[in-house]
Amino acid sequence: MKFRESVAHAVITSAGALLMMALGVQAQDRPIPRIVTWNCSGCHGIDGNTKLPYFPRLAGLKEAFAEKKIEMFRAAASPPVDEVFAWIVDPDKLKEPRNHPARVNMIGIAHAITPEESKAAAAWYAAQQPKPGRHGNPALIEMGSVLFANGLPSQHVPACKGCHGAQAQGVGAAPRIAGQNAEYIMSQLAKFSAGDRQHAPEMTLVTRELEGEQARAVAEYLQSR
């Protein structure tokens, strides 16, 4: 009996390890939180290294920052049913940053989950290992590298590394943006420029001075990190 139990335990353990490998998740002492498998992984991935371009990578993101973001979504009012119906009838309305389906979905999730679940998800993704970035246009990456390190003094744009760190690893309240998906970064820069983000007024000022190609260059560079 003990032999059978040992074999069964070994099989279960091996199967679990293979599943973790298939999902690209580091072996950890704690199980994957239910909130991650049920609500977060579809967009962000189990390990937080999503390849879906319009969603943010969460691996290595500081717990405090992630929790703050969830609180911001929770504080936002859910769109009325008639407004959601209007978006379905007129898809062009969804192109507006504040109406983006991903944002609406996050507002709904934030209203539905508990603070404990928020903390569990934030802690899980903070513990995941960020994967290397993806390369893109070499010329834009080079331009973005210079802009990230030096800023644009002639346009009153400070160096990004001043807040986000020399490796874009995140410093203090500024989040990690190294390896972040370029399309997601572009969408966030657009929201800051439009004044839709109130939590970082300095970013609103900076993004309004950036030209389109410059913003794209920074995004491409960060994605490559």
Residue 60, pLDDT score:
97
pLDDT in tens, 114-124: 999 999 999 99
Please check whether residues 122 and 143 belong to one and the same domain.
no
Confidence of residue 22 (pLDDT cuts 50, 70, 90): very low
Question: Which residue matches tokens 């579809």?
Answer: 42
Residue 153, pLDDT score:
95
**Could you tell me the residue range of the domain that residue 150 belongs to?**
138-224
* Residue after which a domain boundary falls, among 95, 126, 157: 126
Q: Report if residue 198 sits inside a domain.
A: yes
Rounded-to-integer distance, Cα 38 and Cα 20, Å: 16
Rounded-to-integer distance, Cα 49 and Cα 90, Å: 32
CATH number of the domain residue 168 falls in: 1.10.760.10
Q: Report if residue 215 sits inside a domain.
A: yes
Answer whether residue 3 shows pLDDT above 60. Answer: no
* Residue after which a domain boundary falls, among 126, 157, 172: 126
Residue 93, pLDDT score:
52
The share of the chain scoring above pLDDT 70, in percent, equals 77
Residue 78, pLDDT score:
74
Mean per-residue pLDDT of the chain: 84
pLDDT in tens, 38-59: 999 999 999 999 999 999 999 9
Q: Report if residue 13 sits inside a domain.
A: no
Residue 28, pLDDT score:
58
What residue ranges in 48-192 does DSSP mark as E strands?
A: none
* Residue after which a domain boundary falls, among 126, 152, 169: 126
What is the reported pTM?
0.80
Work out the average pLDDT over 215-224: 98
Please check whether residues 210 and 158 belong to one and the same domain.
yes
Q: Report if residue 9 sits inside a domain.
A: no
* Total of domains in the chain: 2
Among 6-20, 80-94, 191-205, the range with the most confident prediction by mean pLDDT is 191-205
CA distances from 198 to 49, 62, 86, 216 (A): 27, 20, 26, 22
